[in-house]
């Protein structure tokens, strides 16, 4: 699901070909696991089927025709809703949180508001888990501890990221200028 929204966010910046989307995704979010071309085109086909992107041009190339995709108003609305919705705390959530922060900064949306909402949801989940641990079995208590430790790590990252939003925003703007 995150890949779909990442592609929508990248299309919100500018209309792009699938190849360009893959390159931008890999640069910003790929890290050690870049997207496969098949996943890009499969995701674009699903987004088009759902009315979230549209083909705005076709160019002849050495191989198959190159389609240029654009986000639709429905796609922009869906992306806006996804970015505004905090994610339920869970292990290995950092990639989604990072993607949302970068996309918010790319689009000029308030990343700090997303981080604040995310922090509030994490703190609420911690209170619920802490209350549930009281009087629970050792097995249930350890399961809750596991979740609590992951939530604590996410909270540390949220605070760390919030303190570095301005620097990250400047870096992203500089990258955009270099890409032009």
Q: What is the mean pLDDT of residues 121-129?
A: 94
- The predicted structure's pLDDT at residue 1: 60
* Residues 84-101 pLDDT 10s: 999 887 766 567 888 899
Q: Could you tell me the residue ranges of all domains in the chain?
A: 1-82, 86-180
* Residues 128-150 pLDDT 10s: 999 988 988 888 888 889 889 98
* Residues 157-169 pLDDT 10s: 999 999 999 998 8
Average pLDDT, the chain: 88
**Max mean pLDDT range (13-22, 68-77, 145-154):** 68-77
- The predicted structure's pLDDT at residue 15: 94
pTM for this entry: 0.68
3-state helix/strand/coil string of the chain: CHHHHHHHHHHHHCCEEHHHHHHHHHHHHHCCCCCCHHHHHHHHHHHHHCCCEEEEEEECCCCCCEEEEEECHHHHHHHHHHHHCCCCCCCCCHHHHHHHHHHHHHHCCCHHHHHHHHHHHHHHHHHHHHHHHCCCCHHHHHHHHHHHHHHHHHHHHHHHHHHCHHHHHHHHHHHHHHHC
Look at 127 and 173; give whichever has higher pLDDT.
127
Q: What is the mean pLDDT of residues 14-43?
A: 87
Which CATH number among 3.10.180.10, 1.10.10.10, 3.60.15.10, 1.10.287.1080 corresponds to the domain 1-82?
1.10.10.10
Check pLDDT > 70 for residue 8. Answer: yes
Check pLDDT > 90 for residue 82. Answer: yes
């Amino acid at each position: 699901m995150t890949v779909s929204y990442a592609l929508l966010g990248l299309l919100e910046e500018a209309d792009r070909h699938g190849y360009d989307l893959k390159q931008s995704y890999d640069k910003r979010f790929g890290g050690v696991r870049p997207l496969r071309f098949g996943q890009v085109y499969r995701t674009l086909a699903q987004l088009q089927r759902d009315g979230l992107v549209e083909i705005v041009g076709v160019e002849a190339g050495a191989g198959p025709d190159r389609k240029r995709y654009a986000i639709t108003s429905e796609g922009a609305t869906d992306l806006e809703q996804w970015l505004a919705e905090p994610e339920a705390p869970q292990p290995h959530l950092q990639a989604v949180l990072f993607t949302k922060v970068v996309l918010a900064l790319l689009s000029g949306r308030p990343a700090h508001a997303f981080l604040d909402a995310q922090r509030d949801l994490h703190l609420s989940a911690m209170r619920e888990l802490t209350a549930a641990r009281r009087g629970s079995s050792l097995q249930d208590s350890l399961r809750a501890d596991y979740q609590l430790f992951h939530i604590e790590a996410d909270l540390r990252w949220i605070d760390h990221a919030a303190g570095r939003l301005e620097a990250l925003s400047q870096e992203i703007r500089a990258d955009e200028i270099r890409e032009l």
